[in-house]
A and B are shown apart, each in its own frame.
Chain A
Amino acid sequence: MIAATLSRRLPRLPISVFIGLMILFLVLLCAIAPQLVAPYDPLAFDFSALLQPPTWTHPFGTDQFGRDILSRVIAASQIDLQIAFFATTGPLIVGSLIGLFVGYFGGVADAVFGRIVDLVVTFPFLVLVIAIVAVLGPGLINMYIAIGVVGWVFYARLMRAEVQVQRQNEYVAAARVLGYSVPRILFRHILPNAIRPVIVYWVTDMALAILLGSSLGYLGLGAQPPTAEWGVLVADGKNFFTQAPWMCFFPGLAVVVCGLGFSLTGDGFADLLDVKR
């Protein structure tokens, strides 16, 4: 269904989506084969080149140990792409399933779900995630758990609304008359028709996950040093921001560019799949 819609509309790919996809392709390349793209070993100290400003030999400059910032930014793309994927995909799967069930069956489950949604939107998202990380302890895995505990709600809410619309359609009534089992109706009939807005939200959510993950890394609550992660790299450079602003600037710019890649692609998906937001 999605593939068919995509191929029909692909010729009208707007320039912004093209830019978004190019960015994601480049980041993916850096993440898959950092040794091919990076000019230096990201962990190699070079005491003859400490805190060097950007030059041709070190385009992004060097840090207080003489490590090449460009190579470190490239190495960090691995962790940040991982964050974008894992912090959103868990909530996507769990939230979609829950949304599918409460949307189809309604009743008590739906009422309970409504209360949970009310509750979650009352907390500032970041504060709730930080509070859970505080309890579990800082770190990448705990960050995924904290984001997952809160994040599934948004996917479930979206899925529930869509399923409630789809449920009214004749094809569902027809499937019931034909005596199909409930799982078959849910997964073979309703799910493919209801998943589009959820998929679009998923792509946009990856942009938010990169921002959230790097922010937690910056605060010291996400990825822990010496793991190279863009937010952690910015935090590393913060102590030198008057003498060596490039230490903060380039890793931060990487977050912006990568976030832009996801949000442009997400917007393009929304247009292509005709999803109103």
Chain B
Amino acid sequence: MYRAIYVATRLLQMIPTLFLIGVAVFIIARLLPGDSVSAMLGDRATEEAVQRLTRQLGLDQSIFAQFVAFLQAIARGEFGTSLAFRVPVTSLIAERLPATLMLTGLATLIAIVLSVPLAFCAALQANRWPDLLIRSVFQVGLSSPIFFVGLVLLTVFAAWLHIFPVGGYGEGFLDNLHHLFLPALTLALSFAAVIMRSLRASILQVLRAEFVEFARAKGLAGRIILFRHVMRNALIATVTLIGLHIGQLLGGAVITESVFAVPGVGRLMVDSIFARDYPVIQSLTFVLALLVSIAFLITDIIQMWLDPRVSRS
């Protein structure tokens, strides 16, 4: 019962957030200095073309009417037509989104596989050499820009060793995985560093907690305490952290996709900036923010499922 109410409240909270995202995206689009139509069409546009686009974008109406039209269009899932590709933005994004979702999903998976065992190792050996080594390596990882890590991996594993393709997305699921492994690893390294750091801290905190001491006093074996008590509580903190960092991961995907020429929405965003394809930029900003708020929602639900205290508060 508590859970159903909690999920319903959380869903209702999405509505004002989505409205605000819409407002922000609308404002950013209006920030365009000077006349946005001539900015899109360039200097050599004919008068007729300028008028047609002005009408098509509804720029001849009042700001308020423009805003209402903008919200209505978004609610219907219509984002206008791409100026560069001359196709509906919705279908363009739908075509590119799977690659980005697969990339970020794979990156999250790799980050978890890398960081969770190492965080346990570091926490259990706190301040001894394995801990110091793991932390130093991840500290360097945290300071490494994604484009640099990507190019190094690309040079070593694609150009020199020919284990992975140099870029692209491939055909079919397994080929996609093969193409996306290096980009996902690139994206995962800095993410793993963030998870490792926080998980190590929360494991240390849980290890000092009273209920662990009680379990020890009861005579439970070390391994059982570790898995049943420490792991469960530390994982709750990690789930929250992963949810909060989905935005960073999507931002990182923009760079990763550019380095590895992955045809996802991140690369589309960068290409659209140089093509001055404003409808695409505007829609992508909205869609990516939407993805993040959905990720927040899912995080909260998983957290509730792992920790019953959440839904009662």
Q: Which residues of A contact B (CB under 8 A)?
A: 115, 118-119, 121-128, 130-136, 138, 207, 211, 214-215, 218-221, 231, 234, 238, 241-242, 245, 248-249, 252-253, 255-257, 259-260, 262-264
Contacts and interface: CB of A to CB of B under 8 A. Distances in A.
A133 B250 contact: no
A118 B288 contact: no
Nearest to B296: A122
Interface stretch (B44-52, B140-148, B177-185, B211-219): B140-148
A252 B152 contact: yes
A1 B185 CA distance: 45
A63 to B, nearest CB: 15
B303 interface: no
Nearest to A131: B285
Nearest to A237: B151
A260 B140 contact: yes
Size category, B interface: 35 or more
Q: By DSSP majority rule, is chain B's interface helix, strand, loop, or mixed?
A: helix
A187 to B, nearest CB: 32
A256 B255 CA distance: 16
A131 B29 CA distance: 9
Contact of A256 (B148, B247, B248, B250): B148
B103 interface: no
Contacts of A264: 139
For A130, A133, A249, which residue has the most chain B Cβ atoms within 10 angstroms?
A130
A133 B273 contact: yes
A227 to B, nearest CB: 17
B285 A127 contact: yes
B63 interface: no
A128 to B, nearest CB: 7
Contact of A218 (B249, B255, B293): B255
A127 B251 contact: yes
Contact of B288 (A124, A241, A255): A124
